[in-house]
């Protein structure tokens, strides 16, 4: 029993001794910190000596930090130059290089050029995308329920006397103009412009456009008169005419105003008032956009080609 | 008959009947002759400060007799009337524009108007 007592007291004393000796070799944990920085080898040596201590005193922040990974400390010492990019192990040959690097910071010529190029590219992309969305909105304004309907079914006769209906119009884009052959000045000008549009669109987008001229003056514009008249403008043009009622119905569908009286005598001289828009219809036969007189042939052709480029469905190019 | 004017003058071809009975429309050459005669006639009117040649018909016919005859011979009657009316409308338009400009209005190019239209749609 006494042995047990003495033994236990001895044990106690021994532990005290151990702690005392530990304190002797390591007067204060803070005393090590300057040593670590003054010499990395010394720090590594000391730290490895003290590997056991975190187990006995795990709560001490200073020690656990130092002993966690002594090799990391020595590594971080050598890398203190490139503090902003810790992962980069670039070393500089000369002081000038380092100075130049510091002067520009993280920026360099390639980075600047890349930045500018990306900016210019994004600007162009967003602009074209915005224009495309606007065209899409215009094109889709007339599709769907509750939208104004321009165009529709018609049944007329072409310049060779063949039947031509709205069904024959689909498959390609159609450019429709309403006019009459005895038109003093505006129609011939517009038809010359239409010929320019046909050639330009054909050149840029292929054979995707069906140009149609519908007469608002059925009494005088027979198929033969239309044929003779349109031959002077463009061979691709399809000239449509019909009875007064057929023309009236077609003009109504296209919201075209026309003033031809229903009962004119042969050879009578008169003029017809009518709307002077080009109607662009998509391959489904739906109205896309009205092209007014303010457009030049070039501008109108560009507009048509842009719409053609937007078209996702089937398109007859033959 | 309205088409008689075509039978005289430099074009010297009346409205020929087409293969299916109707009369052919004036062709490119005939239109060119008509426009030429019209421009000549309007230049004469400009020299004598006549804008409305329908209202001042007698004065116009007296001062520009040669041009009036050529104009009426080369263009259909309906065209003559139309061009005379258009001249008056154009003069009024020009006067309005001048007045607006004097009041400090600026002109908006067609392309810009189109852009504005599209922007308002978007």
Reported as a single tens digit per residue, the pLDDT across A113-159 is 999 999 999 999 999 999 888 888 877 776 666 556 788 889 999 99
Write out chain B residues lying below 8 Å of A225, CB-based.
Answer: 18, 20, 22-25
Contact (CB, 8 A) for B42 and B87: yes
Same domain, A160 and A72: no
Q: Does A13 score more than 70 pLDDT?
A: no
- What's the average model confidence in pLDDT over B49-76? 88
Distance from CA of B110 to the nearest CA of A (A): 6
Residues present in chain B in total: 122
Determine the distance in angstroms separating the CA of A106 from the nearest CA of chain B, rounded to an integer: 41
Residues 6+ positions from A172 with CB-CB distance below 8 Å = A207, A208, A209, A210, A283, A315, A316
- Closest listed residue to residue A225, CA positions, set B21, B31, B14, B2: B21
What share of chain A in percent tops pLDDT 70? 67
Within a domain: residue A317?
Answer: no
Cα angle, residue B25 at apex, residues B22 and B28 outer, rounded to 5°: 155
CB hemisphere CA count around A123 (13 angstroms): 6
Residue A74 and residue A190 in one domain: no
> Residue B86: exposed, middle, or buried by beta-carbon count in 10 A (0-12, 13-18, 19+)?
middle
| Average pLDDT value for residue range A208-217 | 93
pLDDT tens-digit series, residues A263-287: 777 777 888 877 788 999 999 888 8
Q: How far is B54 from chain A (nearest CA, A)?
A: 17
How many CB pairs lie under 8 A apart between chains A and B?
Answer: 81
A119 in a structural domain: no
Contacts of B122 in chain A (CB under 8 A): 130, 133-134, 137
Residue A129 lies in a domain: no
The domain of A287 spans: 155-310
- The verdict on A159 and A79 lying in the same domain is no
Residue A134, in any domain of the structure: no
Per residue, the 3-state secondary structure of A33-46, as one string, reads: HHHHHHCHHHHHHH
- Shared domain for A205 and A69, answered yes or no, is no
Same domain as A71, residue A160: no
Picking from A55, A84, A113, the residue at the C-terminal end of a domain is A84
Same domain for A203 and A58: no
Predicted local confidence at residue B61, as pLDDT: 85
Q: Chain A contact for B77, CB < 8 A?
A: yes
Tell the burial category of B33 from Cβ atoms under 10 Å away from its Cβ (0-12, 13-18, 19+).
Answer: buried
Cβ–Cβ under 8 Å, residues B66 and A222: no
Asked, for residue A98, whether it belongs to a domain, the answer is no
Query: Are A177 and A286 in the same domain?
Result: yes
Contacts of B77 in chain A (CB under 8 A): 269
Q: Give the side-chain half-sphere CA count within 13 A for B19.
A: 8
Contact criterion met (CB < 8 Å) for A266 and B22 = yes
Give the pLDDT confidence score for residue A78 in this predicted structure.
45
Is residue A215 in a domain? yes
In this prediction, residue A197 carries a pLDDT of: 95
Does residue A163 sit in the same domain as residue A282? yes
Residues of chain A positioned with their CB less than 8 A from the CB of B1: 267, 269
What confidence score (pLDDT) does residue A269 get?
83
- CATH number, domain containing residue A214: 3.40.30.10
Contacts of A203 (CB under 8 A, 6+ apart): none
Same domain, A159 and A74: no
Task: Output the six-digit token pair for A190.
Answer: 């517009």
Is A251 one of the annotated binding-site residues?
A: no
Average pLDDT, chain A: 75
CB contact under 8 A, B25 and A220: yes
Q: Name the pairing type of β-strands A287-291 and A209-215.
A: unpaired
Query: Is residue A51 over pLDDT 60?
Result: no
Q: Which residues of A touch B75 (CB under 8 A)?
A: 184
Asked if B118 reaches chain A (Cβ–Cβ under 8 Å), the answer is: yes
- Name which residue leads in pLDDT, A212 or A80: A212
- Residue A193, domain member (yes or no): yes
Check residue A146 and give its pLDDT.
59
Asked whether the predicted pLDDT for residue B19 surpasses 60, the reply is: yes
Give the minimum alpha-carbon distance from B33 to chain A in angstroms, rounded to a whole number: 12
The pLDDT of A303-311, averaged and rounded, is 92
Alpha helices in A57-108 (DSSP H): 61-68, 70-78, 95-104
Residue B56's pLDDT is: 83
Token pair, residue A36, equals: 């670590």
Assess whether A188 and A58 both reside in one domain: no
Q: How confident is the model at residue A31 (pLDDT cuts 50, 70, 90)?
A: very low
Interface residue B89 vs chain A (CB under 8 A) = no
- Residue A221 inside a domain? The answer is yes
Tokens of A130: 């915005």
Rounded CA gap, A88 and A252, in Å? 74
A11 annotated ligand-binding residue: no
Same domain, A78 and A163: no
Closest CA to A257 of A277, A237, A229: A277
Token digits for B49?
A: 């400060």
Tokens for A162, please give them: 């063949």
- Contact flag A228-B27 (C-beta cutoff 8 Å): yes
* Cα distance between residue A172 and residue A236, in whole Å: 13
CA-nearest of B85, B77, B70 to B10 is B70
pLDDT in tens, A62-117: 444 444 444 444 444 444 454 455 555 566 777 777 777 677 666 788 888 999 99
Domain total in chain A: 2
């Amino acid at each position: 029993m006494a042995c047990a007592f003495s033994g236990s007291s001895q044990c106690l004393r021994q532990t005290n001794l151990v702690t005392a000796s530990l304190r002797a070799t390591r007067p204060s944990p803070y005393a090590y910190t300057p040593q670590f920085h003054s010499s990395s080898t010394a720090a590594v040596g000391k730290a490895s000596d003290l590997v056991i201590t975190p187990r006995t005193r795990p709560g001490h922040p200073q020690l656990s930090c130092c002993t966690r990974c002594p090799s990391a400390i020595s590594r971080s010492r050598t890398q203190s130059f490139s503090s902003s990019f810790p992962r980069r192990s670039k070393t500089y040959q000369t002081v000038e290089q380092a100075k130049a690097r510091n002067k520009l910071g993280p920026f360099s010529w390639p980075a600047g050029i890349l930045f500018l190029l990306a900016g210019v590219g994004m600007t162009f992309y967003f602009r074209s995308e915005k224009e495309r969305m606007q065209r899409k909105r215009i094109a889709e304004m007339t599709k769907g329920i509750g939208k104004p309907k321009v165009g529709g079914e018609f049944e007329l006769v072409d310049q060779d006397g063949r039947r031509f209906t709205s069904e024959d119009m689909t498959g390609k884009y159609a450019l429709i103009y309403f006019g009459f052959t005895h038109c003093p000045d505006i129609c011939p000008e517009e038809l010359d412009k239409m010929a320019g549009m046909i050639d330009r669109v054909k050149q840029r987008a292929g054979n995707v456009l069906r140009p149609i001229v519908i007469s608002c003056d059925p009494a005088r514009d027979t198929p033969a008169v239309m044929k003779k008249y349109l031959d002077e403008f463009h061979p691709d043009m399809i000239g449509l005419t019909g009875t007064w009622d057929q023309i009236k119905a077609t003009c109504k569908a296209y919201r075209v105003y026309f003033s031809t009286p229903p009962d004119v005598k042969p050879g009578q001289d008169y003029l017809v008032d009518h709307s002077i828009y080009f109607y662009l219809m998509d391959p489904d036969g739906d109205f896309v956009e009205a092209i007014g007189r303010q457009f030049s042939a070039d501008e109108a052709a560009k507009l048509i080609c842009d719409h053609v480029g937007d078209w996702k469905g089937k398109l007859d190019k033959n | 008959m309205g088409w008689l004017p075509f039978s005289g003058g430099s074009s010297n071809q009346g409205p020929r009947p087409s293969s299916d009975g109707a009369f052919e429309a004036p062709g490119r050459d005939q239109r060119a002759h008509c426009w030429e005669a019209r421009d000549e006639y309007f230049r004469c009117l400009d020299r004598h400060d006549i804008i409305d040649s329908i209202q001042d018909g007698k004065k116009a016919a007296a001062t520009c007799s040669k041009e009036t005859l050529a104009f009426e011979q080369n263009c259909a009657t309906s065209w003559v009337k139309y061009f005379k009316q258009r001249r008056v409308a154009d003069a009024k338009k020009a006067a309005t524009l001048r007045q607006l400009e004097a009041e400090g209005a600026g002109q908006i190019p067609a392309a810009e108007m189109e852009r504005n239209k599209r922007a308002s749609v978007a």
